[in-house]
Amino acid sequence: MAAAPISWGVCEVPGWGRVLDAATVLGEMAELGVQATELGPPGYLPRDPAGLRALLGGYDLTLVGGFLAVVLHENQEHALAEAEESAALFAACGGDVLVLAAATGLDGYDDRPKLSDAEWTTLIDTAGKIRDIAAGHGLRTVLHPHVGTHVEQQAEVERFLADSDLGLCLDTGHLMIGGTDPVELAQRYPERVGHVHLKDVREDLAAEVRAGRLGYTDAVGRGIYTPLGEGDVDVASMVRSVQAAGYDGWYVLEQDTALGAESPDDLPRRDTERSLAHLAKIIGSL
């Protein structure tokens, strides 16, 4: 079981919300019994391997790896350079997975241009080259279907699975918002589940995002993500499914949160504690 700074509102999107300091976030992870974390957005935690290892070690946390949202459909050289820097850092600090997302090149996750077939081909080729770079550092690479990226909707997830041999980050929240049932996907492609992000989602707000009536950022602010067990994702069935298929990787609790000016500082901790309690019941029933 691991966590991620985004559950405390720490996000790479400009103007996302109030950002809690790293000491608070890492300290609360440790107090809740979490043993590992993903890195979080560039610049939040040290990019110097020695400094990062020392910081995490001070909270008895290890590094799972991290999220890399990079443009894959153009300027391949730049994408590969970013992947090389991130993979080297993750590996030097004990991480084992690079979580890749097909960024649009725009700020935020509310808009995304349509790709041509040629751009899609470049996206697949770049993802494969990033996989090879990461493997050279001893890391696995998984593709993260993510709202506001070029692999978001069910048809795009299916197309990626057909065109690439990368595993997937099974993010229960982003898949559901994009129109894919994460339980059904895990059951159809058990061999492609390489990493898991656990979220729960309010389907009423997810439907508004899918229909284009509500922007993703606004949906997060309105509470589209809930503590595990309080939304509409069948988290228990998903966990049982991947466990039965032999999954032995990380479960990263990653509930996208945006803290407003009036949001209590302890809100992320309280939500995370409720999610961990729910997950403990699921694990206990296996």
Q: How far is CA 12 from CA 67, 116, 237, in A?
A: 10, 27, 31
Domain at 87, CATH number: 3.20.20.150
CA gap 181, 173 in Å, rounded: 10
Instruction: Give residue 223's region: left, alpha or beta (phi > 0; psi -120 to 50).
Output: left
CA gap 141, 165 in Å, rounded: 10
**Which residue segment(s) compose the domain that 25 sits in?**
2-284
Of the candidates 155, 152, 156, the one whose C-alpha atom is nearest the C-alpha of residue 210 is 152
Please report where in the chains the tokens 């979580």 appear, as a residue: 99
**pLDDT tens for the 286 residues of the chain, in order:** 899 999 999 998 888 999 999 999 999 999 999 999 999 998 899 999 999 999 999 999 999 999 999 999 999 999 999 999 999 999 999 999 999 999 998 887 888 899 999 999 999 999 999 999 999 999 999 999 999 999 999 999 999 999 999 999 999 999 999 999 999 999 999 999 999 999 999 999 999 999 999 999 999 999 999 999 999 999 999 999 999 999 999 999 999 999 998 899 999 999 999 999 999 999 888 8
Q: Domain total for the chain?
A: 1
Residues in contact with 16: Cβ distance below 8 Å, sequence separation at least 6, in sequence order:
9, 217, 258
In 3-state terms the chain splits into helix, strand, coil percentages (rounded to 5) of 45, 15, 40
